[in-house]
């Protein structure tokens, strides 16, 4: 019973303090008496949470803030958060742009590196082919040198003289018979060469040209009728050059030169 009476007294004291505080606040805001300017300042419609320092009674009986109070204090924070979001979005975009350029540069570098590797590989392959070709040429040159060195080993086996009428380059029957006798024995043979020298009367280039035509007629006959390789036949137009034997006239001298097969390999 005593506790209830004590709680009632305490609650009554609190109500009295709140009423006194509100009355004091109302009196402090009223204009002085006798000024004749009653109501010169409009009464404020702000709630007790809209001021900077609410009264003690307002804090006790109205403990919840108004929406306007909350908005006014939260809005600066919200504006700052929005500003930070914009800055973050801008930085993210810049980072993405830098990353995209970096990736593009890396891709270009990779492509150029691959292209350089391809060129280097092609150069290496060409160098290898050139080295192989050089080695083959060295081998062939050695073989050719051997053959050239053996040229002095060719000996005259037989000699045939083909006569022509002045100004003529066509082989006669006697000329063909003589060539048949010489070439017939060369079938399936190796290690020989045929030297064909043409001689013609006259002077200068005309004589040389005519002597070459006669020698070429002998070359064609041997190649077409006996399939003698052309590389085994050496043809030269001598014109009216003198020879050691003192023979004269329009003619073709055909010499068969043979070498030992072991030397010709």
Residue 210, pLDDT above cutoff 90:
yes
Residue 60, pLDDT above cutoff 80:
no
Residue 149, pLDDT above cutoff 80:
no
> Around Cβ 201, how many Cβ atoms within 10 Å?
16
Q: Which residue, chain included where needed, has tokens 């109500």?
A: 15
Q: Give the pLDDT score at 208.
A: 92
Q: Give the pLDDT score at 247.
A: 66
Average pLDDT over residues 48-59: 55
Residue 207, pLDDT above cutoff 60:
yes
**Beta carbons of 235 and 220 less than 8 angstroms apart:** no
Over residues 216-254, the pLDDT tens digits come to 999 999 999 999 999 999 999 998 887 656 567 789 999
CA distances from residue 83 to 75, 88, 94, 105 in whole angstroms, order as listed: 12, 9, 17, 33
How are beta strands 192-199 and 233-239 bridged, if at all? parallel
Q: Give the pLDDT score at 128.
A: 86
CA distance 175 to 164: 9
Report the run of H or E that residue 197 belongs to, with start and end: strand 192-199
Average pLDDT over residues 33-48: 46
Q: If pLDDT is split at 50, 70 and 90, which confidence band does 39 have?
A: very low
Over residues 178-205, the pLDDT tens digits come to 999 999 888 888 889 999 999 998 888 9
Q: If pLDDT is split at 50, 70 and 90, which confidence band does 211 have?
A: very high
Residue 28, pLDDT above cutoff 70:
no
Question: Looking at 69-73, 130-134, 164-168, which range is the least confident one?
Answer: 69-73
Q: What is the overall mean pLDDT for the chain? A: 77
**Beta carbons of 194 and 232 less than 8 angstroms apart:** yes
Residue 13, pLDDT above cutoff 70:
no
Q: Could you tell me how far CA 51 lies from the centroid of its own chain? A: 77
Q: Give the pLDDT score at 95.
A: 92
> Around Cβ 164, how many Cβ atoms within 10 Å?
23
Q: Give the pLDDT score at 195.
A: 95
- In sequence order, the 6+-apart residues with CB closer than 8 A to the CB of 69 are 47, 49, 50
Q: If pLDDT is split at 50, 70 and 90, which confidence band does 67 have?
A: confident
Dihedral angle sign, alpha carbons of residues 124, 126, 132, 137: negative
pTM over 0.75: no
Q: Which residue, chain included where needed, has tokens 């009632």?
A: 8
Q: If pLDDT is split at 50, 70 and 90, which confidence band does 119 have?
A: confident
């Amino acid at each position: 019973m005593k506790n209830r009476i004590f709680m009632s007294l305490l609650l009554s004291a609190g109500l009295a303090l709140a009423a006194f505080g509100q009355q004091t606040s109302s009196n402090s805001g009223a204009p002085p008496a006798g000024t004749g300017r009653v109501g010169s300042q409009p009464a404020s419609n702000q709630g007790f949470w809209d001021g900077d320092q609410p009264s003690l009674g307002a804090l006790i009986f109205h403990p919840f803030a108004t929406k306007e109070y909350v908005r006014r204090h939260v809005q600066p924070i919200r504006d700052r958060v929005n500003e930070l979001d914009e800055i973050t979005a801008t930085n993210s975009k810049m980072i993405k742009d830098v990353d995209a350029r970096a990736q593009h540069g890396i891709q270009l570098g990779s492509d150029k590196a691959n292209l350089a590797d391809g060129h280097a590989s092609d150069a290496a392959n060409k160098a290898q082919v050139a080295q192989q070709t050089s080695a083959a040429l060295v081998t062939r040159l050695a073989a050719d040198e051997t053959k050239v060195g053996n040229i002095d080993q060719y000996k005259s086996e037989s000699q045939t003289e083909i006569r022509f009428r002045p100004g003529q380059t066509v082989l006669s029957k006697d000329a063909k018979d003589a060539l048949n006798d010489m070439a017939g024995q060369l079938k399936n043979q190796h290690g020989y060469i045929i030297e064909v020298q043409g001689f013609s009367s006259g002077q200068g280039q005309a004589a040389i040209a005519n002597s070459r035509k006669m020698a070429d007629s002998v070359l064609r006959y041997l190649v077409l009728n006996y399939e003698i390789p052309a590389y085994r036949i050496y043809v030269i137009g001598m014109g009216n050059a003198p020879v050691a034997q003192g023979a004269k006239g329009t003619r073709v001298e055909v010499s068969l030169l043979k070498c030992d097969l072991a030397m010709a390999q």
